[in-house]
Structure 1
Amino acid sequence: NPVPLTIPMGTGHEFAGIIDLLSQEALYYDKETFGREVRREPIPAEYVEIAQEWRSKLMDAVADLDEQIMLAYLEGDEVPLELIHAALRKGTLAQKFQVTYAGSSLDYCGVQPILDGVVNYLPSPLDVPPVHGEHPNPGKKDTLEQERKTDPDEPFAGLIFKIVADKHADLCFVRVYSGTLKSGSRVLNARTGKKELISQLWHIQADAREKLETDSVEAGDIVGVIGPKDVVTGDTICDQKAPILLESITFPETVISMAIEPDSSADRKKLEDALALMGKQDPTFKAKINEETGQTIISGMGELHLEIITNRLKDKDHYGLNVKVHKPRVSYRETVKSTVSAEEEFSRSTQGETHYARIKVQIEPSPNTETIEVLSKLKPGEIPAEADKIVRQAVLESAQSGGIVGYPLMHVRFTILDVGYREGETDEEALRAAAAHAVQAALTKAQIGLLEPVMKLEVVTPSEFLGNIQGDLNQRHAHILGSEPRGHLIALEAQVPLARMFGYSSHVRSLSQGRASFSMEPLKYDLAPQSVLDEMLN
């Protein structure tokens, strides 16, 4: 239920500025100052009628929420802006409507009103209920569920929601949910259990950074922190005496990969360092070394994502590296379509000592498991606790090394059915070797399925090109969900395998004479055609 507070004057090349329905003025933005300077003038005659129409709709929306506004509006009296602001905030917080703004990033137009709207209408930390989390290591005296109020007197809890990587010191963006954070203090990383030092607190505004004059921040603040070393985006930092693990930030699996290499071997270390920094800064980007080929493989959310990464590596203002990239490849996953078990034994004698272990595992499909799950049917005390931990870890690590084709496993559950353990002969080496052999044997026996990334696609096009675009998507094995009018355009929604979408950007421009646009994002992994798997196996 949108309620516009500003409307555009013109569209496309004729776009001139916006009309502020609250102040009833026309706003013109100066391109030379990138929209910083705003000129306010009376509404042009040709827009007076449309502005009055939208102003009436705005007043109807707020009058329903405030009796004082209703009476003044019906009697034709001027309604004070303060009352309108209060009603707009009330309606926004109650989700009765959504305040909406016009603007153009190309023309540097409309930024100030929407930022004012964030301040005036969106909920402050005091408007939201207490944040809930879990105790990272619940004991007998600790309950699993924890709660923190937006109160500086509560124990400190904060979430790292962004990291700006730097060669010298990472800058962590932290939202303080409760308590007080002081520079020079030590906090607990609830994920790792390690203590982290808070060296400095910084005020951040866009690209500008400024060291805080005060030495502390309180609940509700967002602050830049320098000091923590072993942290990633989504980590909770908290009071050591009152641990809490807040809900982390989850990121989608990467769907596309390509090999990258420096022009000269002298730049290899620089490339590795640059990729490590970028991976820390962008959790949806990953870089690794292919152990078989020695190639550096970068992975991301799509062609454009990796193109931006590559350009940043080459840009002299960033890293200034000369790199070569290979054609992008789809990041497939493997799964199993049958339930099988396998038992493997490891026995070796070296220097008069026998190393022995036997492990039986079961592998089965688990559609609700995001990646790999490891369970155990061993009874408590059947084998030493340390051996049980080693077996679980070894099964997981062996499974994480990939399936039959070499792609990571997904939607798979391993269950440890039995472990042959001999006192004095069974050690970590034997357990790990037996686990690796058992996992590989189970994968070999199971019916393998190949999973491919499926993308959510939206194409916005003039109606005369809709038929051509639909026909092209059908050839790409897309599942078209439907279409709807969007102004004078048509928005088409579909699900389509990523493998069929390479080069789509230039192709859709060709089909629509450059007038269609599209957006695409990862949706899910689904079974690929058997022919694709057969080709890989052969």
Structure 2
Amino acid sequence: MKIYDDKHIKNVAFVGANKSGKTTLAETMLFEAGLVNRRGSVENKNTVSDYHEIEQERETSIFATPLHTEWRNYKINILDTPGLDDFIGEIASTMRVADSIVTVINGQHGVEVGTEIIWNYVDKYSKPTLFVINQIDNPNTDFDECYKSIVNLIGNNAVKIQYPLVVDGAQCIIDVLKMKMYKFGPEGGKPEKLEIPDNQKDVANELHNELVEKAAENDEALMELYFDQGTLNEDEMREGIKKGMLNHELFPVFCISALKDMGSGRLMGFIDNVAPSAADLKPEQSVEGKTVECKNDAPTALFVFKTLYEPNLGQISFFKVKSGEVKQNDKLENSRNEEIEILNQLYIMDGKNRDQVEKLSAGDIGATLKLKYTETNDTLRVKGSDITIKPIVYPEPRITKAVTAVDKNDEEKLSDALKKIHSQDPTVTIKYMKELKQLILSCQGELHLATIDWTLNNVYGIKAAFDQPKIAYRETIQRSATTSYKHKKQSGGSGQFGEVHIKIEPYFEGMPEPEGFNIRGKEEVKLEWGGKLVFYNCIVGGVIDARYLPSVLKGILEVMEEGPLTGSYARDIRVMLFDGKMHAVDSNDISFKIAGAHAFKEAFLNAKPKLLEPIHELSVKVPEELMGNVMTDLQSRRAIILGMDSDGKYQTIKAKTPLAEMYKYSTTLRSITQGRGSFSTKFSNFELVPNNVQEELVKNS
């Protein structure tokens, strides 16, 4: 396979709403370049991109799939992405390594909800972007309305490069950059290149002049040239368009029929000649603050943006060569753990097909197999080069479930499978919650969860159950209480004896020391689950030997680890041990541990115990016209509205909401907003549970 230099490699991500035609377009481009002899289709389950069993079963992309094509001495790496935001992690990964974004629009629907959601990510990364209106041959397509929907989404920097036209029953495309008309046969393919018809010349000239002005705006030299000449030639326009794309200020709009192979060749030509390469982009900064230059003579640094597990191959690591060159059998250091990895094979991947290569240049995308110490987001570098590529920031999970294996013998197998699923998709998080005694799985939505369930069942042979997770409440007290407890046990020989007298109080940072006690020692225990226990030794006259005090504290901590009200962790309490008794023969550590535990539990229940619940900060972005319904729903969830911010056609609602009320919120918000709403949450603090809620929780514990 030919090795391309950094200027002749273009990495493009195909993004867009579900069923917009991204996979079909990728298939057509591979066919146009002669890399496949026959075009597959999603319906026939034989495309190069959607090769996983679950994708073929559901007839939709679930994984981001790297492909490549070669066109007029350029290599185009295509990253075909899912169109559903449940799989936004796959889109986030590709955004990180794509040089340009091709946003595919379904011509029958225009900009859809999925397009809006994905555009927020494109805009965030400021990636050079072009739009492609697909299905121009469909009678239900309205090109002008689609174009208006793009302008409504991104503003007036959208500019038409092409528009469709039917001439004598034949599908045509007018190209206002080249000022030519392409006429296609009924089955598409290679078009006839013609002059623009007389009745379209005024429209085409107007759009051409608009394109010239937009291209000139992005460069001072081109602007001067434009003022001097009154126009720009095709090469000058290409230069201006590329600079506008790099500045994220110009968004070319094309039209195609991916299914009929109309306009795909012209689109590939534009990607070759105009769309920026990795070498055109502004050099990025490493974690260490060093400039990472996309040059072959720079130190080698690879960024692993995706991990995949295939039954016959094992772990496949997809990477982009951020700088330098990588050769087969190179030894590179993982910047995270400083382990040395040997890249025994290098591949160009096209779906499940792989072609082995000897080396890859700066800016290229490739894959390798069976790395031992490397995961997604890792950097592989020349040893000692001190470069770590900034990691992908994945969106926070939106739904959470407790997961168990239906067959208890599969628990260990389930844990291993979920680790692999997380490695393959970092937006799936797995955590064992010791206090809840549950394995907690978090992901992006109900469809995402269904995909995980399918994978566990069909790939790993595990039947899993998904349930509502318990809430990690905390227990504390609201007033002081004093009590004593005597532990006495006699059963022949030496027995057990220990008596303690304690006072407990609510604790808060900065409170004064307790009065009325002779404080001889103080121990602050920072609890693993948050908050503190402050333990005071106030023993006078040696009524309890100092060696037994750690046992009293240990007994108290054991009760705090499984609180008296509901078994939740207890926090923010101080204990004064001020009296007690011991026996010369029968007293021992276990006696005082038991006495301390019983005394603390009794005092706790007499100190007006109270449950605390986790409160999350919630940010909900919704279309302005749907805000009322969203606010009503939030109020039913005991939310406290903190404020609202305007964001174009959207409003962002800031609120604080009990975690207990957030179950299935993702599904509800999607229903209320027809999929146009999005939200994020993060833990804020613990607050007192309302009395009626506490009564119910205590009763059911």
- TM-score band w.r.t. shorter chain: 0.5 to 0.7
Q: Paired residue for 1:92?
A: 245
Q: What amino acid maps onto 2:335 in structure 1?
A: A
Counterparts of 1:100 and 1:171, CA distance in 2 = 35
SS class of match (1:170): strand
Distance 1:261 1:158, change over 3 A: same
* 1:528 Cα deviation after fit: 4.9
Q: Paired residue for 2:677?
A: 519
Distance 1:8 1:173, change over 3 A: closer
Residue of structure 2 aligned with 1:259, choices 402, 406, 418: 402
Question: Is the contact between residue 290 and residue 296 of structure 1 (CA under 8 Å) also seen in structure 2?
Answer: yes
Counterparts of 2:470 and 2:197, CA distance in 1 = 54
Counterparts of 2:660 and 2:259, CA distance in 1 = 36
- The yes-or-no answer on 1:164 pairing with 2:281 is no
Question: What do residues 349-391 of structure 1 show as CA deviations (whole Å, max 9, x unaligned)?
Answer: xxxxxxxxx99767599xxxxx99xxxxxxxxxxxxxxxxxxx
Question: Is the contact between residue 298 and residue 323 of structure 2 (CA under 8 Å) also seen in structure 1?
Answer: yes
Counterparts of 1:110 and 1:479, CA distance in 2 = 50
Question: What do residues 208-237 of structure 1 show as CA deviations (whole Å, max 9, x unaligned)?
Answer: 4423332x2232222212232122222221
Counterparts of 1:52 and 1:9, CA distance in 2 = 25
Q: What amino acid maps onto 2:456 in structure 1?
A: L
Q: Paired residue for 1:437?
A: none
- The yes-or-no answer on 1:204 pairing with 2:349 is yes
Residue of structure 2 aligned with 1:531, choices 689, 697, 701: 689
Distance 1:250 1:124, change over 3 A: closer
- The yes-or-no answer on 1:326 pairing with 2:326 is no
Q: What amino acid maps onto 2:336 in structure 1?
A: R
Which shows bigger deviation, 217-226 or 495-504? 495-504
TM-score (norm 2): 0.48
Q: Paired residue for 2:357?
A: 213
Distance 1:50 1:322, change over 3 A: farther
Q: Paired residue for 1:63?
A: 216
SS class of match (1:175): strand
Q: Paired residue for 1:418?
A: none
Residue of structure 1 aligned with 2:161, choices 22, 32, 37: 22
SS class of match (1:165): strand
Q: What amino acid maps onto 1:122 in structure 2?
A: P
Report the RMSD for the aligned CA atoms in angstroms.
Answer: 5.5
Q: Paired residue for 2:368?
A: 225
* 1:37 Cα deviation after fit: 6.6
* 1:322 Cα deviation after fit: 3.0
Counterparts of 1:289 and 1:157, CA distance in 2 = 35
* 1:505 Cα deviation after fit: 6.1
Q: Paired residue for 2:633?
A: 472
Matches within 5 A, 1:142-157: 146-157=290-301
SS class of match (1:125): coil
Question: What do residues 498-533 of structure 1 show as CA deviations (whole Å, max 9, x unaligned)?
Answer: 65444456656776xxx7333324243323542179
Counterparts of 1:361 and 1:110, CA distance in 2 = 72
Distance 1:180 1:9, change over 3 A: closer
SS class of match (2:623): strand
Distance 1:230 1:54, change over 3 A: same
Residue of structure 2 aligned with 1:274, choices 417, 428, 431: 417
* 1:89 Cα deviation after fit: 0.8
Q: What amino acid maps onto 1:284 in structure 2?
A: T
Matches within 5 A, 1:54-133: 56-64=209-217, 65=219, 79-95=232-248, 97-99=249-251, 101=253, 120-129=274-283, 131-133=285-287
Question: What do residues 33-60 of structure 1 show as CA deviations (whole Å, max 9, x unaligned)?
Answer: xx99798999999999987766554332
Counterparts of 2:455 and 2:353, CA distance in 1 = 22
Q: What amino acid maps onto 1:522 in structure 2?
A: S
Question: Is the contact between residue 321 and residue 361 of structure 2 (CA under 8 Å) also seen in structure 1?
Answer: yes
* 1:87 Cα deviation after fit: 0.6
Counterparts of 1:274 and 1:259, CA distance in 2 = 15
- The yes-or-no answer on 1:189 pairing with 2:347 is no
Question: What do residues 86-118 of structure 1 show as CA deviations (whole Å, max 9, x unaligned)?
Answer: 1111223244x1315478999999988887766
Q: Paired residue for 2:84?
A: none
Question: Is the contact between residue 435 and residue 472 of structure 2 (CA under 8 Å) also seen in structure 1?
Answer: no
Distance 1:123 1:448, change over 3 A: farther
* 1:278 Cα deviation after fit: 0.2
Structure 2, unaligned runs of 5 or more: 1-122, 148-158, 166-170, 174-186, 476-505, 512-520, 532-556, 570-603, 605-609
Residue of structure 2 aligned with 1:298, choices 441, 465, 468: 441
Q: Paired residue for 1:439?
A: none
Which of the pair has the greater relative contact order for Cα pairs under 8 Å at 6+ separation? 2
SS class of match (1:245): coil
Question: What do residues 216-260 of structure 1 show as CA deviations (whole Å, max 9, x unaligned)?
Answer: 223222221223212222222111243433333444665643222
Question: Is the contact between residue 302 and residue 323 of structure 2 (CA under 8 Å) also seen in structure 1?
Answer: yes
* 1:261 Cα deviation after fit: 2.7
Counterparts of 1:466 and 1:16, CA distance in 2 = 30
Question: What do residues 460-508 of structure 1 show as CA deviations (whole Å, max 9, x unaligned)?
Answer: 37x4x6544443344442555245775xxxx343235465444456656
Counterparts of 1:121 and 1:310, CA distance in 2 = 39
Counterparts of 2:619 and 2:258, CA distance in 1 = 26
Counterparts of 1:163 and 1:225, CA distance in 2 = 10
Q: Paired residue for 2:622?
A: 459
Distance 1:291 1:3, change over 3 A: closer
Question: Is the contact between residue 199 and residue 227 of structure 1 (CA under 8 Å) also seen in structure 2?
Answer: no
The share of aligned pairs that are identical, in percent, is 21
Counterparts of 1:300 and 1:106, CA distance in 2 = 32
Q: What amino acid maps onto 2:617 in structure 1?
A: V
Question: Is the contact between residue 454 and residue 526 of structure 1 (CA under 8 Å) also seen in structure 2?
Answer: yes
SS class of match (1:280): helix
Distance 1:210 1:270, change over 3 A: same
Distance 1:191 1:508, change over 3 A: closer
Structure 1, unaligned runs of 5 or more: 30-34, 135-144, 342-357, 366-370, 373-397, 409-443
Q: What amino acid maps onto 2:653 in structure 1?
A: A
- The yes-or-no answer on 1:495 pairing with 2:654 is yes
Question: Is the contact between residue 410 and residue 462 of structure 2 (CA under 8 Å) also seen in structure 1?
Answer: yes
Distance 1:340 1:240, change over 3 A: farther
Counterparts of 1:110 and 1:331, CA distance in 2 = 56
Counterparts of 2:162 and 2:257, CA distance in 1 = 22
Question: Is the contact between residue 405 and residue 464 of structure 2 (CA under 8 Å) also seen in structure 1?
Answer: yes
Counterparts of 1:528 and 1:50, CA distance in 2 = 63
* 1:187 Cα deviation after fit: 1.6
